[in-house]
């Protein structure tokens, strides 16, 4: 039995009627919060993910402050690589940087696999669950294999993913070998979270929106599908700039599809197989004042209602259409959550 | 009378049958070419745009090297602002940076207007035209007012355009005032190019893809439409990541719509009013080897043929679905042009 009792997020994810409109924000835990900046002082991002008490504290900060309906496990897309022994660091202002890029069959063959438990995360999750109420869900997360592959091949964050796409097209066998090598590590890290008691999970494919649908289907979809197929809790799937990919991403299999802020929710509903959508307030709106946020929330609400009336979807989880920007005023976030609870 | 006689690019833009598949690449003039890097040595980007001989040389380099069917005037989106007297510099590796951001009605009121000729550009264009053959078109270009506004408001390149969107939504009157102030400067710079003899023009709205369609229609479309309405040569309109915006951008009025690499050409053809599409090879494909380029060209060709058969479009101009990446091998570009001339 789940420790949850009528948690709005889980109800919405399963197509039941939630007691209030569930809302959480991607990157709700992070640099927008002064208490996060204080807690992380002098501790590197990836180190903090291996410190159970700090991990729990950071995950819980936005739940306490904003009254959101879910905590999202504080972690990073490259965390399972680090846990497996890959030499990677998160460089402030830049992102994950690899000591060595992975560009050949030999490199792929040497890529370490995550085959152990990750007790720090297990303990961190236990601490989080102990503090959440029975209506607050804990969402776990893993990065999708395409996004991880891009970091590995490019050696760090890339604006154009040219080496990644070149490897795909010039050496498809090496590409598929890399994807097959990443899946067990991601699956393992997800299983660690499931075993520790997360209530739902999100597969983040941050960079998928840089692919066209053809390439996504051939080089990415089978592997994301395999990861999602392995879990029996509510699944959310999200990528940025994925308007063209929603039908294909849908086929990876998830109860919930996250929608980028560029795609109207009623248009998204027509493109996906999922019965529940998540999204899609533009994170920049949190800079525009409460009146503008209220107006935007009403517009999204109208789109969602239209999609429901047409029978395209059964539910909606409120979120941004991308992550909280680090310079967002923490109080504006709290007020946006409250506006959504009123208007959503 | 035009100096051109059956130039493939102009024929295609006007829905006539070109003598060969016309191709040019956004950013074909620039850092991918060793002769460009040599010519620019020690000269700042914006300074080089004010030097007629250098401007002509840089514009012509890719035409000589790659056998493309058009030259694109070497310039920058912020050039008309600089010509008007705005203090702006292009910082290598970062982009256009403003000495002072524009964020209030007062700032907007003080923004200088371009009201003079730009003799350096006029002379540069004359030099370019003198060297082009009667089948090679010269494409002029201007940045769209939204993209210029974002640089002005953010003070430089922005990943999320949060200040720009906040101004739009929190102070719509100030926003519209800024757009009305930008239009005459852009129009003036475009007219300078038309008077000097450009054969076609492209309106670049680099950042439009960061807007949803609602905001694009309310805050951007009327101004882009006004700029395009003022010219009587073939017009191309392009922005990155604009899959959701193609119907709205179409309404701005242009013979040709540029298509981002994410949107299949046959899908784009269904979304636009324009009768001619431009695009949309992924610039990353130029890193994947000739066989992969040939395959991608054939795929695009198939999509274009389908759209023609359906009667959705009358013509096609080959291009990338975004600009040439600076690290692209110049010889791979030449070979891609040749593959397109064979397969397109």
ipTM at complex level: 0.94
Q: What distance in Å separates the CA atoms of residue A114 and residue A81, rounded to the nearest whole number?
A: 7
Instruction: With cut-offs at 50, 70 and 90, classify the pLDDT of residue B273.
Output: confident
Tokens of A29: 């835990």
Strands B235-238 and B256-258: parallel
Bridge partners (DSSP) listed for residue B318: B23, B279
CB of A173 closer than 8 Å to CB of A106? no
Instruction: With cut-offs at 50, 70 and 90, classify the pLDDT of residue B274.
Output: confident
Instruction: With cut-offs at 50, 70 and 90, classify the pLDDT of residue A1.
Output: very low
Euclidean distance between the first and the last CA atom of chain A, given in angstroms as a whole number:
29
The annotation status of A103 as a binding-site residue, yes or no, is no
| Residue whose entry in the numeric block shows the structure tokens 């200088």 | B112
**Where does chain A have alpha helices with state H?**
8-13, 34-40, 45-49, 52-66, 79-84, 105-110, 119-131, 145-154, 162-170, 172-196, 213-219, 221-229, 246-250, 265-271, 290-309, 330-343
Mean pLDDT of A95-115: 97
- How far A105 CA sits from the closest chain B CA (Å)? 16
Tokens of B126: 């004359």
Helix, strand and coil percent figures for chain A, each rounded to 5:
50, 10, 35
Is A27 annotated in the active site? Answer: yes
- 3-class secondary-structure state, position B307: helix
CB contact under 8 A, B287 and A213: no
Q: Which residues of B are catalytic?
A: 27, 31, 40, 76, 151
Find the CB nearest A160 among B160, B214, B325.
Answer: B325
The chain B residue lying nearest A295, using CA atoms, is B169
Contacts of A249 (CB under 8 A, 6+ apart): A205, A208, A216, A221, A224, A237, A239, A242, A257, A272
Tell which residue, A167, A284, A176, A159, has the closest CA to residue A222.
A176
Q: For residue B182, how far is the Cα from the chain centroid?
A: 17
Compute the radius of gyration of chain B from its Cα atoms: 19
Q: Which of B1-15, B60-74, B172-186, B315-329 has the lowest mean pLDDT?
A: B1-15
Q: What distance in Å separates the CA atoms of residue B140 and residue B24, rounded to the nearest whole number?
A: 13
Is A271 annotated in the active site? Answer: no
CB of A101 closer than 8 Å to CB of A169? no
Is A40 annotated in the active site? Answer: yes
Instruction: With cut-offs at 50, 70 and 90, classify the pLDDT of residue A93.
Output: confident
**pLDDT cut 70: percent of chain B above it:** 99
Residues A187-237 pLDDT 10s: 999 999 999 999 999 999 999 999 999 999 999 999 999 999 999 999 999
Judging contacts by C-beta atoms under 8 Å, the chain B residues touching residue A214 are 264, 299
For residue A69, pLDDT over 60 is answered with: yes
Q: Which of A333-337, B73-77, B273-277, B299-303 has the lowest mean pLDDT?
A: B273-277
The chain A residue lying nearest B280, using CA atoms, is A212
Please report the sign of the dihedral spanned by the C-alpha atoms of residue B183, residue B184, residue B188, residue B194. positive
The annotation status of A75 as a binding-site residue, yes or no, is no
Q: What distance in Å separates the CA atoms of residue B229 and residue B206, rounded to the nearest whole number?
A: 20
Residues A243-302 pLDDT 10s: 999 999 999 999 999 999 999 999 999 999 889 999 999 999 999 999 999 999 999 999
Mean pLDDT of B147-168: 97
- How far A120 CA sits from the closest chain B CA (Å)? 34
- How far A210 CA sits from the closest chain B CA (Å)? 7
The pLDDT of residue A2: 63
Half-sphere exposure of A248 (CA within 13 A, CB side): 22
Instruction: With cut-offs at 50, 70 and 90, classify the pLDDT of residue B2.
Output: low
The chain B residue lying nearest A160, using CA atoms, is B284
Mean pLDDT of A35-50: 96
For residue B1, pLDDT over 60 is answered with: no
């Amino acid at each position: 039995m789940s420790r949850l009792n009528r948690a709005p997020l889980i109800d919405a994810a399963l197509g039941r009627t939630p007691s209030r409109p569930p809302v959480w924000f991607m990157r709700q835990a992070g640099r927008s919060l002064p208490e996060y900046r204080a807690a992380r002082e002098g501790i590197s991002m990836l180190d903090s993910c291996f410190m159970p008490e700090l991990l729990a504290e950071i995950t819980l900060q936005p739940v306490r402050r904003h009254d959101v309906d879910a905590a999202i496990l504080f972690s990073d897309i490259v965390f399972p690589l680090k846990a497996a022994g890959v030499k990677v660091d998160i460089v402030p202002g830049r992102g994950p940087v690899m000591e060595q890029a992975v560009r050949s069959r030999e490199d792929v063959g040497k890529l370490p696999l995550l085959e152990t438990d990750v007790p720090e995360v297990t303990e961190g999750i236990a601490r989080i669950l102990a503090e959440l109420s029975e209506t607050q869900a804990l969402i776990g997360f893993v990065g999708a294999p395409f996004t991880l592959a891009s970091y590995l091949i490019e050696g760090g964050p890339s604006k154009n993913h040219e080496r990644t796409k070149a490897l795909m097209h010039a050496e498809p066998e090496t590409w598929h070998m890399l994807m097959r090598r990443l899946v067990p590590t991601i699956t393992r890290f997800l299983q660690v979270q499931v075993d520790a008691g997360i209530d739902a999970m999100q597969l983040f494919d941050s960079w998928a929106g840089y692919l066209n649908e053809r390439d996504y289907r051939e080089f990415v979809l089978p592997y994301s599908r395999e990861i999602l197929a392995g879990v029996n809790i509510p699944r959310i799937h999200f990528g940025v700039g994925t308007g063209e990919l929603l039908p294909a991403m849908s086929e990876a299999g998830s109860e919930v599809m996250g929608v980028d802020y560029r795609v109207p929710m009623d248009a998204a509903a027509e493109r996906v197989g999922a019965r529940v959508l998540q999204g899609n307030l533009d994170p920049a709106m949190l800079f525009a004042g409460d009146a503008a946020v209220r107006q935007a929330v009403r517009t999204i609400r109208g789109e969602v209602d239209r999609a429901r009336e047409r029978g395209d979807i059964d539910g909606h989880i409120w979120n941004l259409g991308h992550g909280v920007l680090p310079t967002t005023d923490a109080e504006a976030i709290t007020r946006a959550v409250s506006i959504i609870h009123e208007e959503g």
